[in-house]
Amino acid sequence: AQKVTQAQTEISVVEKEDVTLDCVYETRDTTYYLFWYKQPPSGELVFLIRRNSFDEQNEISGRYSWNFQKSTSSFNFTITASQVVDSAVYFCALSEEGYSALTFGKGTMLLVSP
């Protein structure tokens, strides 16, 4: 069975600090997809990134970067120079096939104070 663990329940940082959100996953499939979603206080779920199991290249998008390591089954998310608008709950998710259900972690609440 697949599982996603986000051990950090809540992280508080001051604006401009860098912060890393951890995600560890379990799956028996060799082909799988990893995702990060952001849930701001308004409640919607915003897609941030998808990663395929066969592509371990790290990705950077502006202040966001993702570190995918199959050897440790981790898919960590770093926000550089955090801003107050980054305050949200961040969910890591996994799907074992391209079309199947997402299994979400419990989420990490990020609080960025001015």
Partner 1 sequence: EPEVTQTPSHQVTQMGQEVILRCVPISNHLYFYWYRQILGQKVEFLVSFYNNEISEKSEIFDDQFSVERPDGSNFTLKIRSTKLEDSAMYFCASRAETGHYEQYFGPGTRLTVT
Contacting residue, 50, 53, 73, 87, with partner 1 by CB under 8 A: 50
Region near partner 1 per CB under 8 A, out of 13-21, 45-53, 62-70, 79-87: 45-53
Question: Is-contact 2 105, C-beta < 8 A?
Answer: no
Contacting residue, 11, 13, 24, 102, with partner 1 by CB under 8 A: 102
Region near partner 1 per CB under 8 A, out of 33-41, 54-62, 65-73, 79-87: 33-41
Distance CA(79)–CA(66), nearest Å, equals 9
75 binds partner 1 (CB under 8 A): no
Contacting residue, 75, 95, 110, 112, with partner 1 by CB under 8 A: 95
| Cα angle 17, 18, 20; round to 5 | 140
Q: How far is the CB of 91 from partner 1 (least distance, A)?
A: 6
DSSP per-residue string spanning 19-83: EEE--EEE-S-SS-EEEEEEE-TT---EEEEEEETT----EEETTEEEEEEGGGTEEEEEESS--
7 binds partner 1 (CB under 8 A): no
List the structure tokens of 62.
Answer: 């502006």
Tell me which amino acid residue 83 is: Q
Q: Which residues bind partner 1 (CB under 8 A)?
A: 33, 35, 37, 43-47, 50, 91, 93, 95, 98-107
